[in-house]
Amino acid sequence: MRAGWMLMMGCLLGSGLATAQEAHLSAPRIDTHNKTVLQRGARLFHNYCLSCHSAHFARYQRMGEDLGIPTEQLKANLMFTTNKPGDTMQVALRPQDAAAWFGKPPPDLTLTARYRGKAWLYNYLKGFYQDDKRPFGVNNAVFPDVAMPHVLVNLEGLKRRVPADGKGQERYEQISPGLLDAAAYDRAVRDLVAYMSYLAEPAGLKRPRLGVWVLIFLGAMLILAILLKKEVWKDVPH
Ligand code: HEC
């Protein structure tokens, strides 16, 4: 009994902590239902992430159909480890090499958006900053001492952390430019997070559409039921 209570309190405390941790994350609007956004996200994800990470539970073909990408384009622009659209998204890197290079194997990313959350992912991908003490010369604001290099550095450029002082709160300062300015990088990260949310829950793309049909169906059934009731009760004297 006591163990049960402790478990419950632990869970409550745990979820409290999670919210407290999330509290300082900025939560942008991420459009997970716009196919153009998802296609842009796919392009980034397949070019910059699948070299180290897999997305084992996602298949190219299903993704192409959901996002409206023709098979030829899928093969030419988004498939680098296989030419069979029915395959799942495997990684190019061998796990033993990854472990040797990074100290940890890069985890599968199919479900990451679900267990980390969109806000966390967004802040993670924008959280890399220069740190010469780390093996790849960067650290991360939401994942301290992360083993992943800043793989989008050519897009974002590099920033350095300026600690809080008399003049203000902790902030970041751009020290070398990337191909994208701040607003364009922000959009690229939102596109990536949208695509990763799609990967984590492909049915989410179709559900709102299905919901509308269900409501139309229920509405039609209601009208039929009212008409039927009128018909049946017509001859009954009130
Ligand atoms: C050069 C290899 C490499 C590339 C490319 C790469 N990553 Fe990583 N990533 C890693 C490694 C290694 C880790 C494990 C970090 C750790 O646990 O310290 C990781 C961890 C992560 C995590 C944290 C997962 C978790 O829940 O702990 C996320 C999210 C992530 N990567 C997203 C991405 C995205 C998005 C891209 C593409 C823009 C990408 N990665 C490209 C190597 C890579």
pLDDT per residue over 219-229, tens digit each? Answer: 999 999 999 99
Rounded CA-CA distance 96/105 in Å is: 8
Element (H, E) at 187: helix 182-200
Mean pLDDT throughout 112-128?
96
- For the entire predicted model, the pTM comes to 0.82
**What's the DSSP call for residue 56?**
E
55 Cβ closer than 6 Å to some ligand 1 atom: no
147 Cβ closer than 6 Å to some ligand 1 atom: yes
The CATH number of 26-205, from 1.10.760.10, 3.10.129.10, 3.30.465.10, 3.40.50.720, is 1.10.760.10
Examine the pLDDT at 92 and tell me if it is beyond 90.
Answer: no
**What pLDDT score was predicted for residue 6?**
52
Rounded CA-CA distance 173/177 in Å is: 11
155 Cβ closer than 6 Å to some ligand 1 atom: no
Examine the pLDDT at 145 and tell me if it is beyond 90.
Answer: yes
Weakest mean pLDDT among 3-17, 154-168, 216-230: 3-17
Backbone angles phi, psi at 182, to 5 degrees: -60, -45
Weakest mean pLDDT among 33-42, 127-136, 204-213: 204-213
**What pLDDT score was predicted for residue 238?**
66
Rounded CA-CA distance 186/125 in Å is: 9
Average pLDDT of the chain, as a whole number: 88
Examine the pLDDT at 10 and tell me if it is beyond 90.
Answer: no
- Say if residues 198 and 66 touch (Cβ distance below 8 Å): yes
C-alpha 108 to ligand 1 mean position (Å): 9
- Choose the residue to mutate in 25, 30, 51, 148 for probing ligand 1, maximizing ligand atoms within 8 Å of C-beta: 148
Ligand 1, closest atom to CA 116? 26
Tens-digit pLDDT profile for residues 11-56? 444 444 444 445 578 878 899 999 999 999 999 999 999 989 999 9
C-alpha 176 to ligand 1 mean position (Å): 22
Instruction: Read off the tokens for 39.
Output: 């296609």
Mean pLDDT throughout 113-141?
96
Domain ranges of the chain: 26-205, 210-238
Tens-digit pLDDT profile for residues 172-199? 999 999 999 999 999 999 999 999 999 9
Amino acid at 186: D
DSSP-based three-state secondary structure for 128: strand
**What pLDDT score was predicted for residue 63?**
96
Rounded CA-CA distance 224/135 in Å is: 69
85 Cβ closer than 6 Å to some ligand 1 atom: no
